[in-house]
A and B are shown apart, each in its own frame.
Chain A
Amino acid sequence: GAVVSQHPSRVICKSGTSVKIECRSLDFQATTMFWYRQFPKKSLMLMATSNEGSKATYEQGVEKDKFLINHASLTLSTLTVTSAHPEDSSFYICSAKISTGNTEAFFGQGTRLTVV
């Protein structure tokens, strides 16, 4: 299947700093990428949908100024957690779709963020 690479896999940062997470589709062009957050023993919660060249669509309750998403190319989307706080500690996962059709999404390996 298609490969999605997410980096870093694990990051620890201090409160108040910003962290950037990258999501790359390695062998296909991703018109749409999704960012999810998963707390321990909970489901994946969709944070935002990112379409190449346009603004991301954020889910209700997700602060767009705190979670900055940039989908500058068909193979790269980034999520920046700005002014991170301990409550932002979570598992962040990106996924990418090959096309706008009814195709499945492929997932990155996830990033475990710990804010201390």
Chain B
Amino acid sequence: RKEVEQDPGPFNVPEGATVAFNCTYSNSASQSFFWYRQDCRKEPKLLMSVYSSGNEDGRFTAQLNRASQYISLLIRDSKLSDSATYLCVVNMNTGFQKLVFGTGTRLLVSP
């Protein structure tokens, strides 16, 4: 089983739609979780951290389910500019730091 798994997509949605991505992780000892966004041929940029109680930042909501070992990202009212690859990142933190990325989920928002 991969350490971090995501559906690669692509998810094709119209503007204004709500879309959700899930990400599962294998190591139950993982302690911190993030969603990054990567545009084509660019470096990843932090979108948001994922907190145990769930957190929201504008149109973006992140959730963590430790029991089932997955995190989710919900995007409401999709914009064209949201088109990108969304990367789930898990800090395994098993005695030493280890940031592992999922394969990324590609989102395409169309007019």
Q: What residues of chain A have their CB less than 8 Å away from a CB belonging to chain B?
A: 1, 32, 34, 36, 42-46, 49, 51, 57, 91, 93, 95, 97, 100, 102-110
Contacts of B104 in A (CB 8 A): 43
Nearest-neighbour CB distance to chain B for A35, whole angstroms, equals: 11
Q: What residues of chain B have their CB less than 8 Å away from a CB belonging to chain A?
A: 31-32, 34, 41-46, 49, 87, 89, 91, 93, 96-104
For residue B47, which residue of chain A has the nearest CB? A104
Q: Are A105 and B43 in contact (CB under 8 A)?
A: no
For residue A4, which residue of chain B has the nearest CB? B43
Q: Are B43 and A43 in contact (CB under 8 A)?
A: no
Q: Are B96 and A102 in contact (CB under 8 A)?
A: no
Contacts of A43 in B (CB 8 A): 87, 101-104
Separation of A84 and B41 alpha carbons in the complex (Å): 22
For residue A109, which residue of chain B has the nearest CB? B43
Q: Are A46 and B98 in contact (CB under 8 A)?
A: yes
Contacts of B91 in A (CB 8 A): 102
Contact of A104 among B31, B42, B46, B100 (CB under 8 A): B46
Contacts of A106 in B (CB 8 A): 46
Q: Are A36 and B46 in contact (CB under 8 A)?
A: no
Among A43, A51, A102, A108, the most chain B Cβ lie within 10 Å of the Cβ of A43
Contacts of B32 in A (CB 8 A): 102-103
Contact of A51 among B45, B89, B96, B101 (CB under 8 A): B96
For residue A106, which residue of chain B has the nearest CB? B46
Q: Are A102 and B100 in contact (CB under 8 A)?
A: no
Q: Are B44 and A107 in contact (CB under 8 A)?
A: yes
Contacts of B41 in A (CB 8 A): 91
Contacts of A51 in B (CB 8 A): 96-97
Contact of A36 among B93, B97, B101, B103 (CB under 8 A): B101
